[in-house]
Amino acid sequence: MRTKNIFTTTFLLLGLFSIALFNSCKEDEPIPDPIASFQYAISEDDWTEVTFTNYSQHAESYSWNFGDEGTSTEESPVHVYAEAGSYTVTLTATNKDDVSVEYSETITVTDPYEAVRLLVGESSKDWRLLRDGITMGIGPGLNEETGEYDYTTWWTLENDGKRPCVFKQTWTFSEDGTMTFDDGGVMWGEGGVFPEGINETCFEATPENMVNVDGVDVSAWLGGTHNFEYNPSAGKLTLTGEGAWIGLIKVTPDGDVSVPQQSVTYDIQITEETLYDLMAISVIGDGWYWQFNYVSYHDWSNEPAVVEEAEEFGEDLEDVTPTELYNTFETAESYEYIGDIGGTSILTVGQDDPAGGATKVGKYERIASMYQEAQLRVSPDPKDIQFDNFSTAKVDIYIPEGTVFADGGLVKHIVFGFADMSQTEEWWNSPTQFVVEGDDVIVGEWTTYSFDLTDVKARTDLDMIFLGIGGGGHNATGIFYVRDLTFE
């Protein structure tokens, strides 16, 4: 019995020691620093009331500063602002070791009555595209560093005579919830919507002319009256009724369209400026961002005139008529004439052949950008190439096995073309190009693609050759390889 008691006592002591040791380790375990975070929602019934939802972690107490001298220590408070304005809200989260962190966000509280008055005036209000500065543009979307949307990277338009008709149109918003579009008697032939003849030009706004590339009647886009809903707190403008639009007829949040829609929703922000009220209409897509700037002048006599004719762009380059024309991409010197490599896609010469060949090749990188290509021009000085001595162009392309082609990503699509950059500011509107797609695009082996130059030889203004792999309209990246671009 004595021996048993000794073992029992020892076991109990060991158990107590283990519990003490466990508790000691647990107490010594460091407490993680808190993470402060919140979201907010403005009441639909009372624009002054804002509900804050706390998403902080590892915290036990909270302190709120609502930016209007109001404070709270509740976890997820509701705050009522006395007036409209922008307020910087700061949440301080503290853990049980008294370690504190802050998170701040600026919110805008909008009086819907005043905001609607900015859009419709006392009874109705006219808006036209800004004629002094950048009136519209498209860019890649949100800049992670600045937190701002960029709409000036890829393409912009100003009142410089390139599209005079778009500056003659008026959108009138009225307090009864209607929007009347006056087309001014003219329309712009949007690319991809209208057929050759009126494509990329101003034309008379008549029902007879409003037929798209598929022969469909799109006259609903002409002048007319539609309805609108404006949510100032959310910054949303919805136009309803077939053919209601603002910005560009084809641009919607779901992508480009070629027929009128029943309803389109835009992001909207209106600010009061010195000479006019400025209305920024924007459309945000996957990896792209359109913005359209409209104005309503306090005194319309201050509005600049429409520039009717664009100044001549660029210059006619010196002609060159090669008997040899190629780039093997083996080295920086293995070319004849076309040795200046540029474009948004990155084409690097002198890389190892992915298929194991002994000859160096070019590595083609499609970066995370919607529309792009590699470009080749005459080196060292650009020239207009005359293709009189050639009938065929050939290029070898290798698309690695395992390349992922998926909806919204890379596409089995190769475009090879020619363009004039020296005298055509928007060269992509009038190239001579060839497309290979679908099952004709071969994966996993070097493939030679050939192109007939009959149409190319008919032009005398071409100074750039371009190659696109993987398709456009998406931000998917890809690595491909090219070699032996030759003309025969």
Q: What is the pLDDT of residues 32-90, one digit of tens each?
A: 999 999 999 999 888 899 999 999 999 999 999 999 999 999 999 999 999 988 999 99
Q: HSE of 13 in the Cβ direction (CA atoms, 13 Å)?
A: 6
Angle at Cα 255 formed by Cα 258 and Cα 441, nearest 5°? 90
φ/ψ bin of 102: left (φ > 0), alpha (ψ from -120 to 50), beta (otherwise)? beta
Q: Compute the distance between CA of residue 52 and CA of residue 65 in angstroms, rounded to an integer.
A: 12
Dihedral sign computed on CA atoms, order 376, 380, 385, 388: negative
The mean per-residue pLDDT over the stretch 391-404 comes to 97
Query: Residue with structure tokens 């897509």?
Result: 285
CA pair distance 83, 66, nearest whole angstrom = 13
What's the 3-state SS for 50-80? Answer: EEEEECCECCCEEEEECCCCCEECCCCCEEE
The CATH code belonging to domain 38-109 is 2.60.40.10
Best CA proximity match to 419, nearest among 470, 461, 359, 372: 461
- When mean pLDDT is compared over 105-109, 154-158, 239-243, the highest value belongs to 239-243
Residue 8 banded pLDDT, cuts 50, 70, 90: very low
> Out of 177-181, 244-248, 253-257, 261-265, which region has the weakest mean confidence (pLDDT)?
253-257
Query: What is d(CA 159, CA 365) in angstroms, rounded to the nearest whole number?
Result: 36
Question: Is residue 229's pLDDT more than 70?
Answer: yes
Residue-level pLDDT at 457: 96
What gap in Å lies between CA 209 and CA 219, rounded to an integer? 8
Top pLDDT among 7 and 401 is at 401
Least confident of 43-52, 357-366, 386-395, 415-424: 43-52
The CATH number of 319-487 is: 2.60.120.200
- Residue-wise pLDDT for 102-151, tens only, equals 999 999 888 878 889 999 999 999 999 999 999 999 998 777 777 788 89
Spell out the domain ranges in the chain: 1-30, 38-109, 113-302, 319-487
How many residues are given for the chain?
Answer: 488
Q: Do domains 38-109 and 319-487 have the same CATH topology?
A: no
Residue 305, pLDDT > 80, answer yes
- Which tokens sit at 292? 């359209």
CA angle 298, 300, 303 (to 5 degrees): 110
Q: Is the dihedral of CA 354, 357, 363, 364 positive or negative?
A: negative
| Coil, strand or helix at 450 | strand
183 to 41, 133, 159, 233, 281: CA distances (angstroms)? 38, 22, 17, 30, 18
DSSP state of 207: G
